[in-house]
Chain A
Amino acid sequence: MNDISKPILIIEDEPGLLEAVRLKLTKEGFPVLGCTTAEEAEELMAKTEPSLLWLDLFLPGIPGIEFLQKLRADEKWKKLPVIVVSNSGSPEKIRQSRELGVETYFVKADWKLEEIIDVVRTILSSNKK
């Protein structure tokens, strides 16, 4: 089973997509926390430790990559599993994400929601061990 206390934190600026992901993850039995901006995420993370970060890169305010850089600079979050779920296929972004220790980089248009969630499940179960 999953650790209920540690939710998956979703940072996605499109509310519709955020809803869909939250719905599905909840259905699958995962605790979910969602927000639409990096700033909100910071606030949430000050209060709760997430088990995984589901990060969109195109965010209003602080962009995803920058947020990630800040995150990794913090000792506390150095080892936090992060998946990037973005619409950008830019090699530059992919490279940067890889450098910042991202588990997987998903281009939204190419993946079914279920498939991404499968990968999430794998990551979390392997982490638990």
Chain B
Amino acid sequence: MPIPSISRGIIYVSMFLHFYAVAEVAVAGVGAFLQSPFVSLIVAVLNGFLAFAVLTRNPRAILNRVYAFAALSIFWWAACEYMSRSSFAPQQALVWERMGSFGYILAPLIQLWFALYFVGIKRVLRIALGSFFTIMSVGAIAFVWFSDLVVAQMTKFPWGYLSVPGPLFPYLLSLFALQAGVAILLYLQFMTVTKERSKRAQALLLFLGVVVPVTIGFYTDGILPLIHQGAYFELGSLTTTLNILLIAWAMVRFGFLGVGIEIAAPFVLATLADAVFVLGDERKIVYVNRAAQKLASAEESALFNSNIKEFLPELPDHAFTSFFKQESYLMDAEGHRIPVMVLSQRIADLATGTRGNVITVQDLSEIKELQEREFHARSDAEALHRGAALIEAAAEGIFSVDMDFKINLWNKAMENLTGIPSDQIVGKDVSWGMDVTDRSQKTIFLKEQVFQKVMDTKKAVSISFLDGYFLLNKENKKVAVAVTASPLYHDNGKMFGVVAVVSDETKEFEADRTKSEFVSIASHQLRTPISTMKWFSELLMAGDAGPLATQQQEFMKEIYAGIGRMADLVTMLLNVSRIEQDKLAVAPEPTDIAQLIHKIGEELRFDVSKRGLTLEVQVKEKLPIVNVDPRLMRFVIENLMTNAMRYTPTRGTITVSAAKSREFIEVNVADTGMGIPQQEQEKVFQKFFRATNAKDSVPEGTGLGLFIAKYAVEVSGGKIWFLSRQGKGTVFSFTIPLAGSKAKEGLKQLS
């Protein structure tokens, strides 16, 4: 707050008058004017006004308050002196004199207090010193009031009543001297210690303001009255006010006690949310607001006078000389690095002579965190978007279902495969999605067979064209596919759905077919030379080329057996290739399964007894006639029974049974043979697979029989499985649907 011009004017006038008065005295000795009480009145009025000016300038600053109080006490002193000097009676004068004692005793005390506050002495010391002298001053006032030891009496002089010092008066002077001495020492010490130029100048002024009047006043008001009884000079009171004047001048010239930067700051800056550091000379912190203390995790006392570079180490030099705005970091008192935005403003006010920097610091940590979170969210979203784009662009069909089997993702490839656009299928049950047929040409229940199984076993489930599964596409054509369904898990391990990948395996299917075609062509070609070898062998063995010696006959038997095995293999290969090329016909007709079993049993009876085995045919109830392809059924039963015979040692038993259940006829072929080793059981239906114990004991066997049998069962609409324990025996079971098999066009039959 700048000094209003009126107060400035009055201060100037007051200064002039005072100096005029001093000059008058110096030149003309004690003048009438000076000796008149009016001087006191003027002093009073002016000091009163000074007090007002200083206080209003900065009512909260302690220095201003103390100064104002000092000015007020001088005002009081001067006013009372006027009253005293212009009194009409000695008693009246004495009363006024005593009243004035509050002024002239307290004024030096208050000026000492001012010194104590200005130099910033430790609080404890300040209170100690201040209290001591206050007590002494109060005591002095008491003596003035209640005795005549200090002021003996009032004597009338031509220029009014004046006090006559009493015996204790010198002690009062000593008190003043002591106070002044302390003040002088304080200022001196402050001047030597402080590095701030402006502060040093202020201290010097204050020092002079104490030294000069004290010295002069001491002499004029103290020494002189003692030497020349009755002589009284005004210089004392005048020079006492010199301190006040000098401060007034400093206020006008330098803004001292005014709204200097370090004093105005609190009002404006205290409540700002941003941290504010005010720097004085040498980049030392002279002021910090509450937000700054919080940011730097330090108290005002710790921050005061520290170099700003301790907290903002990255600030370049030019930050202090001009306007500067930059992202940086702040090191707080605990060593944390806080990202901040720094704004630095240089302040130079010529009028008040203040110079410094105001540094505003904005805490960016929250913004930074938000930025990082946004970045993460964006990259997550991008990743998700990328992921979604990947899924959409994938060549394979990808779709997923939730735990209620509702489709929640359906990519472009699925749309192409099935002809169902995603907006029509998303939200619907998975059964609406794809039509997949198995070998028996029935549409399978994807939900139960694949998705439920995934959820139950928590493992991936695959079906493919290799097992006879085909997708019916939008033109209702069969498409060779491989479908793999896998469980989907959250981070916490909980399953939340199933994802299915459907790949069009037409190429692989074609390649497979090509292979099979090759196999079938080769097998056909093989048949002719095999037939030739077979028939000529027969001729030889029949003796048509002449009788054979025993050994020759034996050798021929071996040759013939080998040819027979070759022929069997070729037949099997042809069957397999027919299966793989999907050329096998299924021609259902009413078939009596029970009769078929008995018939085959009869056909094999000779071989059974030759091996020393027992065959039991158990057909419990009368089995219904079913519409199945008898050739396929025959193949399966023959194959299972032949296997049973082959792999059961002498004295074993083979049991064939058949029973009707609600939807199927179940046929079982059980033996007491060598069984299938546990670790090889899952490969049993694979092409060319023969178990190790089978290979070791029975050299013949193509490893194709069960593969074909499985196909035959499944294409007829049934299922085939087995239970086996090595060394104990095996039972193979298969089902025949009572509903019968679906007819299938085919060029070939099983041979």
Q: Which residues of A contact B (CB under 8 A)?
A: 14, 16-17, 20-21, 23-24, 27, 87, 89-92, 107-110, 112-114
Contact = CB atoms under 8 A, between A and B. Distances in A.
A17 B528 contact: yes
Contacts of B542: 24, 114
Interface in B527-545: 527-528, 530-532, 534-536, 538-539, 542, 544
Given A27-B544, A90-B747, A20 B539 contact: yes
Interface in B304-356: none
20 contacts: A16-B536, A17-B532, A20-B535, A23-B539, A24-B535, A87-B531, A89-B574, A90-B747, A90-B748, A90-B749, A91-B585, A91-B749, A108-B531, A109-B567, A109-B571, A110-B571, A112-B534, A113-B534, A113-B539, A114-B542
Contacts of A89: 574, 748-749, 751
Nearest to B536: A20
A20 B535 CA distance: 7
Contacts of B748: 89-91
B303 interface: no
Which of A20, A87, A109, A114 neighbours the largest number of chain B CB atoms within 10 Å of its CB? A109
A24 B539 contact: yes
B570 interface: yes
A92 B748 CA distance: 8
Nearest to A88: B524
A14 B534 CA distance: 14
A87 B535 contact: no
B531 A109 contact: yes
Given A90-B747, A112-B534, 10 more contacts: A14-B528, A17-B528, A17-B531, A17-B535, A89-B748, A90-B748, A90-B749, A91-B749, A109-B567, A113-B535
A49 B180 CA distance: 167
Size bracket of the B interface: 20 to 34
B376 to A, nearest CB: 68
Contacts of B749: 89-91
Which of B524, B538, B567 neighbours the largest number of chain A CB atoms within 10 Å of its CB? B538
B527 A109 contact: yes
Nearest to A89: B751
A87 B585 contact: no
A23 B532 CA distance: 13
Nearest to B524: A87
**4 smallest beta-carbon distances between A and B, as pairs:** A20-B535, A89-B751, A16-B532, A87-B527
A129 B654 CA distance: 47
A26 B535 CA distance: 15
B231 to A, nearest CB: 160
A9 to B, nearest CB: 18
Contacts of A87: 524, 527-528, 531
Nearest to A28: B544
Contacts of B751: 89, 107, 110
Contact of A113 (B524, B528, B530, B538): B538
Nearest to A107: B751
Contacts of B535: 17, 20-21, 24, 113
B114 to A, nearest CB: 129
B537 to A, nearest CB: 9
Contacts of B747: 90-92
A90 B578 CA distance: 11
Nearest to A94: B749
Interface string B550-588: 000000000000000001001100100000000001010
Nearest to B749: A91
Contacts of A113: 534-535, 538-539
Nearest to B525: A87
A109 B587 CA distance: 24
B630 to A, nearest CB: 13
Nearest to A108: B531
A109 B539 contact: no
Nearest to B571: A109
Most buried by A among B535, B542, B570, B587: B535
Nearest to B585: A91
Nearest to A16: B532
Contact of A114 (B538, B571, B587, B746): B538
A20 B524 contact: no
Contacts of A23: 539, 544
B544 A24 contact: yes
Contacts of B587: 91
A107 B750 CA distance: 13
B538 to A, nearest CB: 5
A16 B542 CA distance: 18
A58 B544 CA distance: 27
A105 B475 CA distance: 41
Nearest to A13: B528
A55 to B, nearest CB: 15
B561 to A, nearest CB: 13
Contacts of B574: 89
Contacts of B530: 109
A16 B318 CA distance: 111
B751 to A, nearest CB: 4
Nearest to A27: B544
Contacts of B534: 109, 112-113
A27 B530 CA distance: 22
Contacts of B528: 14, 17, 87
A129 B587 CA distance: 38
Interface centre among A23, A92, A113, by most chain B C-beta atoms within 10 angstroms, is: A113
Contacts of A14: 528, 531-532
A126 to B, nearest CB: 24
A24 B539 CA distance: 7
A91 B571 CA distance: 15
A126 B398 CA distance: 69
B155 to A, nearest CB: 161
A80 B530 CA distance: 30
Q: Which of B524, B534, B587 has the most CB of A within 10 A?
A: B534
B588 to A, nearest CB: 14
Interface in B494-546: 524, 527-528, 530-532, 534-536, 538-539, 542, 544
A31 B487 CA distance: 75
Contacts of A24: 535, 539, 542, 544
B56 to A, nearest CB: 124
